[in-house]
A and B are shown apart, each in its own frame.
Chain A
Amino acid sequence: MIFLKLLEGRGIEFVKRLDSIANRESDYIVKSEDVTDERYGYYPFERPINLYIEYGFIPLDKPPGPTSHEVVAWIKKMFSIGKAGHGGTLEPKPPI
């Protein structure tokens, strides 16, 4: 998917890609220096699948008929039957 390619990148590069996707042209001002510790957290595209879903978002093309509420319930149901023991925190949020 071409679009995903536009988003790919790590760290600050990823943040700048977010800006460009939303047509934002702002510069960054550095306030202080810091290096991220690779032992904690994940680069968004490198999250293990359960976290990728937990911190995920689905731009869903909702068909006419079912309400958004119903569709959210279906999506939740689809994902919560995922890997055993990890169902509890899965909460994809389809906004459209």
Chain B
Amino acid sequence: MHSSKEYVALMELHGDVNLEKLYEVFKMFTGKIYQRPPLRSSVKRSLRVREIYSIDLLEIINRHVLFRVKCESGTYIRKLCHDIGLVLGVEAHMRELRRVAVAHIREELPVVTLHEVSEAVYLWRKYGDETLIRKVVLPVEYIVAHLPKIIIKDSAVDAIAHGAQLAVPGIVMLSNDVKKGERVAILTLKGELVAIGKSFMEAEEIVKNEKGVAVKIERVVMDRGTYPPLWKKAKKEEKSE
């Protein structure tokens, strides 16, 4: 997910540093920073720019520094700790890390433990009681809650599920913040996620236009055949004419 991330990290300094200096260096690392991905990383190790939206000191005990960092996707916090240590002149490393938010998905919302999932599955399988499953599992739509949205006609759903692009006539309504080149979620009138894609048009263009491809589909979520394949019928009729 290419969205903002939020972490709480525990950094251990290798020497003593006064609080003022620490605040100063945290400030230096706020905003756009250069970062080279660490040796053990899953991406190409070239210097890249990442934005740190904020760093807040939560607690400091001797050489242990607990802080909260909000940053752009693709920022390595272990590396951030290392680099902060270098600038402080005492060196430092990351001891512990917890991700507390990805975009709008935050830990204060109901995050569940593996035990709770296991319990829910057990109750369902053993006693056919699905109430806990319905609390532990959330509808997939929740994941795209942060995206601009386009709601489509029933008749357009199956074509999208088969990989077609979304054309203007299939649209019922849209949020006014749909932007050209940006990601949108495509939903049914029942609120089911059909797919996500990149919009080819601004919201106003979609409203104005009568035809044309509005969204290039990137990922289909809904199973084929959930809605009737009206587009196939239309094709056949065209042929027989």
Contacts and interface: CB of A to CB of B under 8 A. Distances in A.
B141 interface: yes
Contacts of A71: 114
B173 A31 contact: yes
Interface stretch (B26-34, B83-91, B186-194, B233-241): B186-194
Query: Top 10 A-B pairs ranked by shortest CB distance?
Result: A36-B189, A14-B191, A56-B137, A44-B139, A22-B145, A18-B145, A22-B104, A22-B146, A26-B175, A61-B111
Interface of A: 1, 3-4, 7, 9-15, 18-19, 21-24, 26-37, 40-45, 47, 49, 52-64, 71, 74-75, 78-79, 81-82, 89, 92-93, 95-96
B139 A7 contact: yes
Contact of B191 (A12, A31, A53, A57): A12
Contact of B142 (A7, A24, A27, A37): A7
A23 B112 contact: no
Given A19-B145, A26-B177, A95-B1, A59 B192 contact: no
B114 A60 contact: yes
B141 A30 contact: no
Contacts of B118: 78
Nearest to A36: B189
A3 to B, nearest CB: 5
Chain B interface mostly helix, strand, loop or mixed? mixed
A57 B188 CA distance: 18
A58 B175 contact: no
Given A15-B151, A29-B173, A92-B137, A21 B104 contact: yes
B172 A3 contact: no
Interface in B88-141: 96, 99, 102-105, 107, 109-114, 117-118, 121, 124-125, 130, 133-141
Contacts of A29: 173-176, 203, 207
A71 to B, nearest CB: 7
A35 to B, nearest CB: 7
B226 interface: yes
A39 B230 CA distance: 14
B112 A58 contact: yes
Interface string B158-187: 000000000011011111110000000001
Interface string B2-32: 0000000000000000000000000000000
Given A22-B104, A40-B154, A82-B124, A28 B189 contact: no
Chain A interface mostly helix, strand, loop or mixed? loop
Given A29-B173, A57-B138, A82-B124, 17 more contacts: A4-B110, A19-B175, A28-B151, A32-B169, A33-B172, A41-B188, A41-B192, A41-B226, A45-B139, A47-B139, A49-B130, A53-B133, A55-B140, A57-B139, A59-B105, A78-B121, A95-B105
Contacts of A54: 223
A59 B114 CA distance: 10
A72 to B, nearest CB: 11
B139 A96 contact: no
Nearest to B100: A96
Contact of B138 (A36, A49, A58): A58
B149 interface: yes
